[in-house]
Amino acid sequence: MRRARFTRGICAAVVAGALLLAPATAFGLSMSWEPIGDYASVLNQPHFAWPYVAWADQFTGTHLLDLRDGTRVELTSNSQEPFLSEDMVGWWNGTAWSVRMFGSEETTQLPAAITSDPVLASGTRIVQFDPSPRVYDCLTGSLVATLGLSTVARSAIDGDRLAWSTPQGNGRALKVWDFVADTSSIVATSPQLITAVGIEGDRVVYASNKDGQGSAVYLVNISTGVETMLCRARNWPLQVQLCGDYVYFDGYGVSVFNLRTGELSQAAIALSGYVEWSSWRDHTVVNQDGFLRLGTADIAPPITTSDAEPAYLAQASVHLAALDDVSPAEGCRTFWSLDGGAAVESSMTGVLESGDHTLEFWSRDEMGNEELPHRSVSFTVEPGYRIAATAGPDGSITDPGVTAHHGGDDCTYTITPATGYHILDVVVDGVSVGPVGAYSFAAVSSDHTIAATFAADALPKAIVGTPVAPSTMYRNRAATIYGYVSPSHSSGTYLVTLRFYKKNSAGKYVYHHSVKAKRYYHSSSRSKYKAYTSLPHRGRWRVKAFHSCVSHAEGSSGYDYITVR
């Protein structure tokens, strides 16, 4: 997050002529919020000018907080709303305004003609609006100008200019007073109420339901008179502020419009009720909703790096990575342009054409901050040839992927199946060369492909001995049936499945049921299995044993016959 000291240089940015803006799109607002005090009795909105916050509390008076070290000073026990600028702080002491210039311990008292009504402050000037707007210089305490206005609805001050809205006929007018030229001019009109006004240098912003389609934020260039509707607002903004390339406004959250990209962030803050906030400085805001919070917006663009090398053989593959210290890096969008071509949104590019190339690249974060100027890197792709090698599952090939080679090179690929598998086929340039274990390209003079596939080896069948059953059994009386299976199994409980078939009236044996036979013991060459089971019906039966395991395919035995009485 970048926090630049608030200076007149930052505030004097000018948008000349018409703004060519894309339709506003929503993006994620990256802000960090830090509580700076639990002041439930704050009477009015706090005032903020880095590094100070000034506010009034109905129980403890008026306070000044230094955000650099947390020092808090009670200016007075009076709870009248103070004023604050980058140069001074002022508070009502009960009978008059007291002023302290930053960098000085001396406190001066302004003339009694300056009433206790709230004022606007900029630099060393203040503006008071009742009964009519008057401008005072706090260094001398003298009246600088009387503006001669009757009614002021919304107002904002910056340097030598004051902007305010006031009724005019059936509509409202937005005016700007230039203190140096001692002139005022109407810069915009609206048939509806202007709910918020902000000014910075040669630009003024305001919020109004001007077209009857809902509240919107507008930007006016004072010098050219060009007006642009920036975006719709989520609610009726009561405050709007310009800060460089960004316009901030409130309304159930803090919203930010990026003048460079035309992108809008509408991010609600997790606070109850309506969000009230003071003027922005350094893209930082103080919010008051039962307690004070300091929020700082992300205005630093991401930084994009590349892994480009000075030279490549046959092909170049460049990967780009965006780094951002506030917005999530995964939320950044990365773009590149090769040799002055069209912009492509991607984090990698491949270049196959030989010769010298220039890759321009940049990223934009969720706040709409874009790297300016764009970065670039130059590299050379030397002539050569590419071989693409792939291996299917259950095997491998040396140098997989795409490798580059000089013309005339010899290269050999070795194909290796995994245990329990064999090479099924090797295809070179789309033509099968059979299940070879190696293939060589001699004196490479063109691009090639080589692909290997694999198949599982056939498992040997287990040798299952015919089960030994009693020739005669009695219905529902259990008897032992046993047999042998090879190879020997030293583990596993159930080795064999016995399947029983019943002879029907047509003389055919029909499958009836199965029984699992347990391993009884094993030797070095075979295992004995047995089952203790009964048969439910009288008649002729036969039984057959089946066995399979991970190392052998299924094997089966012959039949043994049983007569059930």
Q: What is the CATH number of domain 463-564?
A: 2.60.40.10
- The residue with greater pLDDT, 169 or 266, is 266
Burial class (CB in 10 A: 0-12, 13-18, 19+), 557: buried
pLDDT given at position 27: 40
Tell me the two tokens of residue 279.
């003027």
Single-letter code of the amino acid located at 238: L
- CATH 2.130.10.10 assigned to 8-297: yes
Count Cα neighbours of 535 within 13 Å in the Cβ-side half-sphere. 30
332: Cα separation from own chain's centroid: 7
- The residue with greater pLDDT, 252 or 421, is 421
Mention every residue, 6+ apart, whose C-beta is less than 8 A from residue 553. 458, 459, 460, 461, 462
On whether the pTM is more than 0.85, the answer is no
pLDDT tens digits along 282-317: 445 555 454 555 556 666 788 999 999 999 999 999
Mention every residue, 6+ apart, whose C-beta is less than 8 A from residue 373. none
pLDDT given at position 121: 86
Residue 195: name the closest of 157, 120, 251, 149 by CA.
251
- The residue with greater pLDDT, 288 or 376, is 376
Query: pLDDT confidence of 458, banded at 50, 70, 90?
Result: confident
Superfamily of the domain at 303-382: Immunoglobulins (2.60.40.10)
pLDDT given at position 500: 96
> With 60 as the cut, is the pLDDT of residue 249 above it?
yes
Share the mean pLDDT of the chain: 81
Question: Which range is least confidently modeled, 65-74, 379-388, 415-424?
Answer: 65-74
Mean of the pLDDT values across residues 20-25? 34
pLDDT given at position 535: 95
Measured between alpha carbons, how far is 439 from 372 in angstroms, rounded to an integer?
A: 51
pLDDT given at position 287: 52
Query: pLDDT confidence of 59, banded at 50, 70, 90?
Result: confident
pLDDT given at position 378: 96
pLDDT given at position 420: 87
Are 303-382 and 463-564 in the same CATH fold? yes
Mean of the pLDDT values across residues 177-202? 86
pLDDT given at position 91: 92
> With 60 as the cut, is the pLDDT of residue 441 above it?
yes
pLDDT given at position 393: 95
Quick one: what percent of the chain has pLDDT higher than 90?
Answer: 40
Task: State the first-to-last Cα distance of the chain, in angstroms, to the nearest integer.
Answer: 92
Mean of the pLDDT values across residues 318-338? 81
Quick one: what percent of the chain has pLDDT higher than 70?
Answer: 81
The domain spans of the chain are 8-297, 303-382, 385-456, 463-564
pLDDT given at position 168: 59
> With 50 as the cut, is the pLDDT of residue 515 above it?
yes
